[in-house]
């Protein structure tokens, strides 16, 4: 399996190199030369398998010769051993043909754990094999940072630097990052938005000298390995509801487009998907794009679902690459227009191709609060505000197609957003016991200006890989 950049001007790489590279050197994102397929019989055979075994079978075709079957099974078994539910990603029914996929049973209570726990083990294995050190730099709107820190804390070959928007994440999200004592973990509170943090991250990856000097690696959802790991729960949940013998739709709370892209990849592999429904909040750029064909940046509005307070949905570039017939020159043109004029127009044929598989629905603040309240009132089930945007979108889809079951992804535990939940239902969900200590623990972080030069200097001074190259 080989990988190419969406912008066509970076080397073709094998999976191991894509794993370490994150972003392509031309600023593009890596995508497989072709999507591998799973036969209907292979999909059906996933029924009843432990999640770790099913995951290994699903993602193996993407890995080439990076890991053999036994190595991969050992990695998935280890990755999911710390999850606090035996099913890893269990389904809960909350209405007729409406199911919630609980992706928050990992160590940091967010769906990012599903990919990050596996990514950390894969990356550590490859670095050991090559006798290398790496400097991981990530940007987070809340959950990615905590998941990365949990996955890499204490590893000798890796230093981790996480940028998050200062005072724009929940207290629990922040404390999950800032109370970790491991010496290889560095948290940076950036004076700016998540989009600012992501912009700095991309500029660091484009700086060849800096990238080489610190052994730069990335763990954001721009890293293809993250997307691949997330395809597994689309298959396991759909098979539990009758796939491949029936279609299943999915509603996905979406900011950076990585999670819903994993559903698209699963569909490309042969999973019969009815519709992929994008749930957004007030930062509704994806809903606006699907409605009008115009992808246009606006200011970021802080909401009660902060992990989705994003305007630049980076993984959307991978979808555009496919619907534009993998024409890298076209993608370079679109991304250039985005950089220069803050927007671009999707051509009619690619837009129709997107609409054939996706739809989008925005849940504004009142909608989100009402969805949490309604679901709790009707079922006793507590949604976090991100999951509420997905369920809100799922209900709209069911009104159009009540016969097709829809799985709505619950991407975070409600206890991570107690204020939003309390506003909706009048009580605060308790933080699980294994995380309660963070509320009183000492925090450790550095506040930096929104300046890529200052961030680069901070990293260079502290990264052990940089010292090793001097």
Spell out the per-residue pLDDT of the chain, length 470, in tens.
999 999 999 999 999 999 998 889 899 999 999 999 999 999 999 999 999 999 999 999 999 999 999 999 999 999 999 999 999 999 999 999 999 999 999 999 999 999 999 999 999 999 999 999 999 999 987 788 999 999 999 988 999 999 999 999 889 889 999 999 999 999 999 999 988 998 999 899 889 899 999 999 988 888 999 999 999 999 999 999 999 999 999 999 998 899 999 999 999 999 999 999 999 999 999 999 999 999 999 988 999 998 898 888 999 999 999 999 999 999 999 999 999 999 999 999 999 999 999 999 999 999 999 999 999 999 999 999 999 999 999 999 999 999 999 999 999 999 999 999 999 999 999 888 888 889 899 999 999 999 999 999 999 999 998 765 54
> Other C-beta atoms within 10 Å of 420: how many?
24
Rounded CA gap, 341 and 214, in Å? 32
- Could you give the 3-state DSSP secondary structure of residue 447? strand
User: What is the structure's pLDDT at 389?
Assistant: 98
The conformation of residue 342, written as its DSSP 8-state character, comes to: S
Rounded CA gap, 84 and 108, in Å? 11
339 backbone dihedrals φ, ψ, rounded to 5°:
-65, -40
Q: Out of 112, 202, 275, 416, which one is annotated catalytic?
A: 112
CATH code for the part of the protein at 91-109+224-425: 3.40.50.1100
Rounded CA gap, 348 and 424, in Å? 41
Rounded CA gap, 198 and 203, in Å? 9
Which residues, in sequence order, are CB contacts of 300 under 8 Å at separation 6+? 193, 194, 195, 283, 309, 310, 311
Residues 143, 116 contacting (CB under 8 angstroms): no
Rounded CA gap, 242 and 366, in Å? 35
Quick check: bond before 60 cis, omega within 30? no
Name the residue ranges covered by the structural domains of the chain: 91-109+224-425
Q: Is 416 a catalytic residue?
A: no
> Which H, E and C letters describe 174-213, residue by residue?
HHHHHCCCCCCEEEEEECCCHHHHHHHHHHHHHCHHHHHH
Rounded CA gap, 322 and 327, in Å? 8
Q: In angstroms, how far apart are the furthest CA atoms of the chain?
A: 63
| Assessment of whether the complete model's pTM goes beyond 0.85 | yes
């Amino acid at each position: 399996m080989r990988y190419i950049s969406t912008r066509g001007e970076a080397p073709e790489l094998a999976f191991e190199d894509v794993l370490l590279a994150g972003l392509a050197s031309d600023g593009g994102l890596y995508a497989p030369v072709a999507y591998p397929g799973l036969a209907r019989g292979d999909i059906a055979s996933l029924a009843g398998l432990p999640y770790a075994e099913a995951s290994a079978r699903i993602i193996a075709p993407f890995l080439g010769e990076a890991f053999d079957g036994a190595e991969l099974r050992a990695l998935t078994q280890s990755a999911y051993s710390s999850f606090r539910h035996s099913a890893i990603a269990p389904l809960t029914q909350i209405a007729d043909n409406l199911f919630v996929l609980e992706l928050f049973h990992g160590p940091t209570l967010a769906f990012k754990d599903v990919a990050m726990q596996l990514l950390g083990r894969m990356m550590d294995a490859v670095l050991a094999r090559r006798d290398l050190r790496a400097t991981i730099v990530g940007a987070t709107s809340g959950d990615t940072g905590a998941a990365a820190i949990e996955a890499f804390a204490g590893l000798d070959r890796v230093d981790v630097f996480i940028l998050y928007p200062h005072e724009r994440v929940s207290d629990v999200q922040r404390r999950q990052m800032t109370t970790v004592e491991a010496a290889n973990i560095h948290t940076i509170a950036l004076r700016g938005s998540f989009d600012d943090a992501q912009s700095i991250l991309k500029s660091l990856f484009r700086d060849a000298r800096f990238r080489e000097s610190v052994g730069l690696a990335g763990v954001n959802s721009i890293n293809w390995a993250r997307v691949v790991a997330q395809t597994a729960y689309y298959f396991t949940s759909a098979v539990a509801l009758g796939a491949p013998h029936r279609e299943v739709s999915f509603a996905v709370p979406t900011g950076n487009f990585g999670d819903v892209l994993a559903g698209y990849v699963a569909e490309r592999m042969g999973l019969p998907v009815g519709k992929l429904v994008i749930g957004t909040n007030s930062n509704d750029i994806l809903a606006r794009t699907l409605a009008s064909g115009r992808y246009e940046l606006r200011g970021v509005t802080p909401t009660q679902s902060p992990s989705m307070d994003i305007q630049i949905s980076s993984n959307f570039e991978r979808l555009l690459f496919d619907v534009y017939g993998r024409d890298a020159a076209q993608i370079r043109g679109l991304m250039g227009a985005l950089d220069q004029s803050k927007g671009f127009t999707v051509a009619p044929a690619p837009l129709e191709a997107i609409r054939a598989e996706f739809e989008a629905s925005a849940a504004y603040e009142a909608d989100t609060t009402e969805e949490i309240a309604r679901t709790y009132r009707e079922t006793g089930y507590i949604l976090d505000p991100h999951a509420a945007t997905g369920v809100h979108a799922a209900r709209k889809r069911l009104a159009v197609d009540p016969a097709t079951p829809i799985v709505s992804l619950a991407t975070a535990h409600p206890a991570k957003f107690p204020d939003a939940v309390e506003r909706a239902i009048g009580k605060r969900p308790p933080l699980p016991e294994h995380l309660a200590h963070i509320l009183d623990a000492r925090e450790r972080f550095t506040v930096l200006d929104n300046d890529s030069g200052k961030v680069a200097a901070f990293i260079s001074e502290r990264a052990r890989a940089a010292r090793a190259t001097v």
